[in-house]
Copies of this chain bind each other. A is one copy, B any other.
Amino acid sequence: MDEGMSGFCIRAASVGGNSSSTGTKCGRWNPTAEQVKLLTDLFRSGLRTPSTDQIQKISTQLSFYGKIESKNVFYWFQNHKARERQKRRKVSFDEKDIMIRRDSAKISYTQNFAEVNHVSEPERVIETLQLFPLNSFGEAESEKQKLRVHANDQYRGNTMFSCTMGEQMEHPPLDLRLSFA
């Protein structure tokens, strides 16, 4: 019934007067060239997952160039690292694919040429890339129910949470009654 909105955003308003660099419209962080350069340099220096303290310091420094929050720094590294990895993975995938097609008899998936990463960065962090197992495919049903949720139920009290969905009562209310000794 309320399918109308596919995705809307609420912004923390009062962002007027931003103009960090080129008169951005607020909404989401848009790094300046200087900020990107600094972040990239740090990344190239080997920084991958800065600690909270480091994020804080970086954020503080970058705030000199424009509005920025520590979460932006956090996300930036997260994304940059992930995307580099992703890129590399794709490349190696292609190469392996080709190789497999080449000699489709021996199947020696050695990626001795793994350093063929022309990923626009002579970085120095070794990212071990994995070979994908070719034997376990139809595994969709197995449902590896590990669920180590019962890590610490000890005194798990007799709490009762209940919750209803308000308007649309198309189902019984959710009652979570726990039995107690």
Knowing A157-B134, A158-B134, say if A70 contacts B52 (CB, 8 Å): no
Q: Give the interface size bracket for A toward B.
A: 35 or more
> In the complex the two chains form, what is the Cα distance from A53 to B34 in whole Å?
37
Proximity string of chain A (165-181) to chain B, C-beta cutoff 8 Å, 1 when within and 0 when not: 10010111011101100
Is A84 an interface residue, CB under 8 A from the partner?
A: no
State whether the Cβ of A3 lies closer than 8 Å to any Cβ in chain B: yes
Are B147 and A160 neighbours in the complex by a CB distance under 8 Å?
A: no
- Give the residues in chain B near A168, CB-CB below 8 Å: 34
Q: From residue 1 to 41 of chain A, which have CB atoms closer than 8 A to chain B?
A: 1-12, 14-15, 21, 26-29, 34, 37-38, 41
Q: A38-B163, A42-B161, A171-B61 are in contact. Are A149 and B52 (CB under 8 A)?
A: yes
Most buried by B among A89, A141, A159: A159
Is the CB–CB distance between A51 and B7 below 8 Å? no
- Give CA–CA (A170, B66) in the complex, Å: 13
Q: How far is the CB of A39 from chain B (nearest CB, A)?
A: 9
Question: Complex formed: what's the CA distance from A4 to B28 in Å?
Answer: 11
How far is it, in angstroms, between the C-alpha of A114 and the C-alpha of B55 when the chains are bound?
12
A154 to B49, CA, bound (A): 12
The 7 residue pairs across chains A and B that have the minimum distance between CB atoms: A136-B157, A51-B154, A7-B11, A51-B156, A138-B156, A41-B163, A61-B174
